[in-house]
Structures are given as structure tokens and as C-alpha cells.
Amino acid sequence: MTTPDGIRWFKENFQAKVDAAVAGTPFDVDFIAAIACQETGHIWQTLRKKKLPAAEVLGLCVGDTLDADSKSARRAFPKRKSDLVKVPGGDRMFDIARQALIDMSKHIPGFKGAAGNPNKFCHGFGMFQLDLQFFKEEPDYFLNKEYADFDKAIGRCVRELKEALVKIGFDKKKKLTDFEMACVGIVYNTGRFNPKKGLKQGHFDGTRFYGEGIADFLRLARTVAAPGGAPAVPAPAPGNAALPPPAEVTATGEAFEVDTKVSTLRLRSDPSVPAKSTANIIGELPDGQLVRAVTAKAVNGFREVETSLSGGLLRGFASTKFLKKVSGAPVLDVAQPAAEPPKTGIVEVFMPRKAGTVTKRAEIAGAHSLNEPKQPARKGTAPDELRAEIKAIIDYLDVENPAHKRYKPRSGLTFCNIYTHDFCFLAGAYLPRVWWSQAAIRDLATGKKVEPLIGKTIDERRANDLFRWLRDFGLDFGWRRADTLSQLQDEANLGALGLIVARRKEDGKSGHIVMVVPETDAQKAKRDASGQVIAPVQSQAGARNFARGTGTKDWWKGAQFAESAFWLHG
């Protein structure tokens, strides 16, 4: 199993060489470490614990075996020993491949069975696993064991990654997101990429696809500091996902202030108002929000702008009619979510209960939170652990089960707010079922002690209330806005909690709030031709309850809603 200590060993031994090899590319040591983990981590993570020298570890990084003359589904050269020995140097290569398997199996018990078969030999070589299919073109790399020389191995790896950049159309990019790096990893593995499939591509090991593995390892690598440095992403506390810090505003154009005096200002994906006026909305900017121009000129009465709102980086087109120029070059602050909930002042609150009472899924919902025995929780930190724990929560809440009256629609009432509260409660993130009254908040802010009393100091929270709570208090309790719908799904895939919440125009009518949850092999997000998520995997109670589904596309842009937002919590 890949651990932070394993990543640290990789960086301590190879950081300088990797930095030199990736100079001038959009790659970094964390991405290269992720490739190494995905390819041969199961080998070198074990060998480094035996205190073997790094040079010896590199020579033992071999794998993927073939039978000497068996029929194989493999299409690439060589399919069997007879194919290999026919080419110049092939007989020597078989001896090297056979001995490599024997040597490696002495340290890795899982390969002893293969090594015991005299017809077996390896066809993957080096920490980054160059396949013998390249033997005809590059025989010296294999025969001279250049794969055991890190300088040569990383050089060969980066060459392939550069070729992958061209194939996927990223060769003009100076910087890649982590998701884009994982996409490059898929091309490195398979030679192709289908944007509509997301990261569920590449070799499937029975548990996850190559692209998913790269994403998992890359996030882990981000939490491990390079020698003498700090990690790019803080290591998460148990029960939390590792979230990267909110992105900085990079636009350097003119500064403007949103000036509507009427409502929020719609931020659009292109400089137009379509027939369905909400179709291209990507965000709502509050009155007074500072933005920086991305482009020098307006198009169709719109200016492309960038801003940071509650920790989310928003970029799109805003009507120039509602942008007031600001003198100077003000710095746009990037809000940071709190690492821990507040212990004093305005703190989390739950509905008090009588001793010995139990709130069950099978009962009609009230203001109390669940407290049934053996409820699941998030305790891990690695993406695979967190995904499994989120699955356990979804399965436990079992929102589609008609016996779970807590979530079942009745008498025109729906319970999206209760389901998301329960989900977050079990997952260790605070999303209120009840919240303080305004008078209580004033008292708490001055340091007074306030007793939670329903109808006096606390009230139930519905979806519209939760929209405002997230806006006003979300950052204090670890929530932050997501940059995009794609980021929301990507982070949920790595074990974070995601929310989509929409506020109704008519306050007396129900808003809506849903969880965004990890994709599965059976339930995937919908993506457009460029790979952007257009319908994430959601879990909800509502007029229709479902554990996982993509729901109605863009439901949050419905004419009945005044505004909507995407939120993340580690």
C-alpha cells in the first residue's frame, strides 16, 4: 500500500533528478511520483522498507509476466518467448527478463509463484515500466539495463509524457490542473483518451482504472513535503479528504466593483443572454463584489472577469452595465475555510434530546439528528478509504427505502435538507439541522452562554436557510465554494463532500440541496465533448429520492430559483 512515507522516500531520493527532467514542462515531482506509484509502487514501496539502496531498488522494479510459449491475449510484441528470441539480441533479453523475475520475487512474495514457472518472464522494466514492445526500437535500453538508471528512466518517461501532451492537445498549456495531469497519465498508459469517460480509463486492476489511480496518488503526493519544503496540500485529519488551498485570482486587468442596487449579478460562460436566460449562468456575484478583468475589451456588452468568492475561483462574463471601475489595483482576498469548527462564540448546535431517546431513519423526521447504534462514519484520509466510507453512509441512509420514513415525501413535503444534514453529520462535517436565532447569535458573538431552546434560541433549517447559512457561516465550519461543477465532482471522487444548493425566489417555497458523491462503475457523471462535467453524480431526498443519479440536468438553473452555489468540504 502506498503511504506518505513511501512518497517521502521517493522525493528524498529522486526530487532533484525529477526537477531537472521536467524543467520546461507542466509536470512536477508529485505527478512523476504518482506515475511511479501507479506503475511499480507495489514493488518499490516494499523494497524501500528493507533498507535496500535506491540503485538496487531501481534494478528490481520489474513486473508483468508472460508465459514462454502460451497463447496470450496480448497484442503487442512479444506475445511469447519464441517471438522475442527471433529478433537480434532477443535470446539475451529473455535471459535478462527471466532473471529479473527471479531476483524481484525474492523480495516480493506475490511473484514467487510466477518465478517458480520456468516459462515465465517479465515484460515491464523500470520504475516507470517501459514495456518490451519497444525492444525492437530501443534494444540497448533493455539489454544495458538502462531502466535501472534513474536519469535514463526519468528521461524516457518524460519523453513519453510529452508525446501524451501532444496527443491530448495540452502541449500549449504551461500549467495543468491535477485532473488534466491524470488525463495525461491515461494517454501515457493507453495512448488515447476519451473526454466523456473522465478518469475511468486506462488499465483496470479490478478495483480502479489507471486514471483514477493517478488522481489518488497525485493527491497523496501533494500532501507530502519535498525535502526542505512544505506540502502543496495540507495533510488531512482523520475522517477528512485532502483539499488543495483555494485558488488565487490570476487576472491582472482592470478592477471593477459589482454595482447593481437590485440583485446579484449573473456570471455567464459566454458573452450572451440565451433564449433560456439561465442556461449559461455559472455563478452569481453579490453587489459590491470586486472582480479583475481577464480581457482588455468588452464583447457584446460583457466583460470577461475573474474573482474569488467564499474560496471559489469564478471566471466568466458579466454585463458591463453593472460593473463600476475601481481605481488602483486592489488585491482580491481569497477566503480560506477554517481548519476546525469554532470552539467559542457562534458554535455548532444540535437539537437537545431527552436522555435515552433514539432518532431513527424509520421514523418521521423532526428536528433531532440521527443517533442510532453503529452508524457509519468517515475515519480514513486516503481516497480509497474515504470513498468506501461514503458508500457505507449512502448504503446506511438508504434514501430509496420506503421504510425510511425520515426521507419519504409526504403531504407535499420533501426532506432534502434532512438527508444532507444526516449525510454530512455521519461524514463528520457540520451542516445544521437547527441553527441559532438572530438574537442568540448576537449574544453568542459577545461571549454570552446561550441555551439551545427550540422556537426561542434555535430554529429548524430548510434548504433556503442552508443556502444563506453556507454563505454566511460556511467558511467558519470548513465549507468553501467550488470553482466549477467539474471540480466539485473531481473532489467528491477523491472522498470530499460536495453540495449543490439552490434558493427559491419565493421564500415560502422549498429550495433544494443535494450531495455530490463519488462516481462508480455503474453510475458516472455526464460530461460534454471537452470533458467538463455537466451533470455530477448526486444523492438526494426530494420529490424523488435516489441514492445515486445524475438527476435533471442543470436543475439548479430552474426559473423557480433565485441563485445557486456549489460547496466543498474536506
Per-residue pLDDT of the chain (570 residues), as tens digits, is 679 999 999 999 999 999 999 999 999 999 999 999 999 999 999 999 999 999 999 999 998 999 877 777 788 999 999 999 999 999 999 999 999 999 999 999 989 999 999 989 999 999 999 999 999 999 999 999 999 999 999 999 999 999 999 999 999 999 999 999 999 999 999 999 999 999 999 999 999 999 999 999 999 999 999 888 999 999 999 999 999 999 999 999 999 999 999 999 999 999 999 999 999 999 999 999 999 999 999 999 999 999 999 999 999 999 999 999 999 888 899 999 999 999 999 999 999 999 999 999 999 999 999 999 999 999 999 999 999 999 999 999 999 999 999 999 999 999 999 999 999 999 999 999 999 999 999 999 999 999 999 999 999 999 999 999 999 999 999 999 999 999 999 999 999 999 999 999 998 899 999 999 999 999 999 999 999 999 999 999 999 999 999 999 999 999 999 999 999 999
CA 524 to chain centre: 14
Q: How far is CA 18 from CA 26, 34, 232, 284, 553, in A?
A: 13, 12, 17, 42, 43
- 216 and 266 share a domain? no
Backbone angles phi, psi at 565, to 5 degrees: -160, 155
In a domain, 113, yes or no: no
Q: Report the predicted TM-score, pTM, of the whole model to 2 decimal places.
A: 0.95
In a domain, 99, yes or no: no
Domain that holds residue 175: 4-61+126-222
- 291 and 398 share a domain? no
In a domain, 495, yes or no: yes
CATH number of domain containing 290: 2.30.30.40
CA distance 428 to 430: 7
- 319 and 392 share a domain? no
In a domain, 135, yes or no: yes
CATH number of domain containing 416: 3.90.1720
- 413 and 509 share a domain? yes
Domain total in the chain: 3
Determine if the peptide bond prior to 78 is cis (ω within 30°).
yes
In a domain, 474, yes or no: yes
CA distance 265 to 283: 8
In a domain, 48, yes or no: yes
